[in-house]
Amino acid sequence: MKPSPFDYLAPGDLDEALGALAEHEGEAKVLAGGQSLVPAMNFRLATPSVLVDLNRIEGLAEVRVGDGELVIQSLVRHRDLEIPATEDATALLLARVSRLVGHLPIRVRGTVAGSLAHADPAAEWCMLAVALDATIVARSVRGTRRIAANEFFEGLFTTALAEDEIITEVRLPLLGNAGTGFREKSQTAGDFATVATIAACTLDDGIVADARLAIAGAGATPVRANRAESLLVAREATPDAIAVASRAAAEDVEPSSDASTSADYRRHLVEVLARRALDDALEAAS
């Protein structure tokens, strides 16, 4: 099918873009990589009457490291993160994750900020934002606000963003020399994950000092496995402890069934992929 008609605006700076969104609030949509929005428009699932294309705005495509954070601007493409910006664990993790987001033609155009705004429950970047407690910086003509990742994802394809807001930055804490793990099961290479997990851990003398575990594809939004995390912290990282934590993670998710995957199978994948991601993270941390 073909999209329904719209007016196309390609502002040259951010203020102009924000002004256009405010003026056409409720009718306008931001266009970044177009790799989620345009399919939805071609199916007429999305019928915006105005498109505000960000791609002509200069100075919005930077990856920057500073103040203990890695900062990703609006027009940073998935592909841009394949080469780590620093040797920090966060940048190395991003490089691994980016390679599993769709295929090369998707990665050369799709953006991290667009993926967060789209909020697919299986999206790798959304899970990463939750795993690392990212801060999402959103601007509108009304000002700038910072939204914590755990308050950003509100449901299936639903976020805390207002219709006149643009994500200008995604800020991720640098993890230093933490160990990380990233595991994903998808139907075919490059597909959206059925279930995916990210773990990040630090060890102090063999004892788990910090543990993060996030899960995508087992609920309406990516989630943190809080109980699994606290079952690990302050304990020795034994295979038993990891198995117990992974089981807890699987018990706590609320997956649903769809045409290709049952809820039970998703829960099983959570347990297996949580264990593998934690194994990888704790191995790398030691």
Ligand X SMILES: Cc1cc2nc3c(=O)[nH]c(=O)nc-3n(C[C@H](O)[C@H](O)[C@H](O)COP(=O)(O)OP(=O)(O)OC[C@H]3O[C@@H](n4cnc5c(N)ncnc54)[C@H](O)[C@@H]3O)c2cc1C
Chain positions 100 to 119 lying near ligand X, rule: CB under 6 A, are 101-102, 106, 110-111, 113-115, 117-118
**Which residues have C-beta within 8 Å of that of residue 185, sequence separation ≥ 6?**
193, 194, 195, 196, 269, 273
Partner from another protein, ligand X, none binding residue 32, C-beta < 5-8 Å depending on class:
ligand X
Token pair recorded at residue 109: 């155009």
d(CA 60, CA 168): 8
Rank residues 35 and 180 by Cβ distance to ligand X and give the closer one: 35
| Closest C-alpha among 282, 126, 114 to residue 196 | 126
In the complex, minimum distance from the CB of residue 115 to ligand X, in angstroms, rounded to a whole number: 4
Give the integer Cα–Cα distance in Å for 159 and 258. 22
CA–CA–CA angle 22, 24, 30 (5° rounding): 80
User: Does 195 engage in binding with ligand X (CB under 6 A)?
Assistant: no
CB 60 → ligand X: shortest distance, Å? 8
Q: How far is the CB of 272 from ligand X (least distance, A)?
A: 19
Inter-helix orientation angle 124-131/89-98, to 10°: 160
Least distance (Å) between residue 259 CB and another protein: 16
Strand order in the sheet with 223-224: 179-186, 193-204, 207-216, 223-224
Provide the binding-site residues for another protein, judged by CB under 8 A.
1-8, 10, 31, 34-35, 38-39, 41-43, 51, 53, 55, 103-106, 108-109, 188-190
Q: Which of 96, 159, 122, 125 is nearest to 266 (CA)?
A: 122
105 vs 206, beta carbon nearer another protein: 105
Q: Identify what 228 binds: ligand X, another protein, none; CB under 5 to 8 Å per kind.
A: none
Cβ closest to ligand X, residue 32 vs residue 237: 32
CB of 125 to another protein, least distance (A): 17
CB of 270 to ligand X, least distance (A): 18
Buried b (16+ CB within 10 A) or exposed e, 3-36: beebeebebeebeebbbbbeebeeebbbbbbbbb
Q: Taking CB within 5 to 8 Å according to partner kind, which of another protein, ligand X, none is near residue 117? A: ligand X
Q: Name the residues that contact ligand X, by CB under 6 A.
A: 29-37, 39, 74, 101-102, 106, 110-111, 113-115, 117-118, 120, 123-125, 161, 166-167, 192
